[in-house]
Structure 1
Amino acid sequence: MQSDALKALLDQVDQQAKRVSVSRTVRDLQLYKKYIQTFLQEAVRSGLSTTQAHSWQQGGMKQTLVQTVNQKLITLTNELLEKQKDEVDLLDQLDEIRGMLINLYV
């Protein structure tokens, strides 16, 4: 998949992130996660870098950026379902995930 196609997928993720930030519904969150999963699959399939993160996790294992994005999605899902975070925290997490996707893209 070429960079134009990856950019289109990233735009799709961005649009869905806006929907999630407004609606805060499980359905919109599931679609957001699906779009991110598609982006990650295509990014990895097309040979984009999935370099190791430099932070060490418990047990001395390094995480890849893809694993970090997946963990952020799990956290976001839990917080949305628990309705414990205000909108600013939700937007911060959406932006953080987007930043990780951009790191894969460039």
Structure 2
Amino acid sequence: MIGVGAYERLAIGYDPIKRQLIVLTTVTADAIDAPTYTIDKRHYMSARRFCAEYKYDVEDAPFTFAYDRAASVAGVYYFRLKGVKAARGLTSSSTEVVAHQSL
């Protein structure tokens, strides 16, 4: 969907006000000073840092993000959090780049 493959890197941030993930592909992620995450050969990424940063509560899982739109800047995509119950677990006030398991 967003054109990334195994062993590529992504940066993923969360905007708690808009309840959105912001996904930056390799070229865009490399252009900013933020941590990136490597996609493994199965096309998965670890969710541990995302869970720790945004106090992901497994009792409210699963968290579902639906594709919203692409930005006008190449390599930037938005996914919106679905469900009100799930939003309680993601409470950070920053939009720091973090990891998420599946998109």
Please give the range of the TM-score, normalised by the shorter of the 2 chains.
under 0.3
Q: TM-score, normalised by structure 2?
A: 0.26
User: Larger relative contact order (C-alpha < 8 A, sep ≥ 6)?
Assistant: 2
Q: TM-score, normalised by structure 1?
A: 0.26
Higher helix share: 1
Rg: which structure is higher?
1
Higher strand share: 2
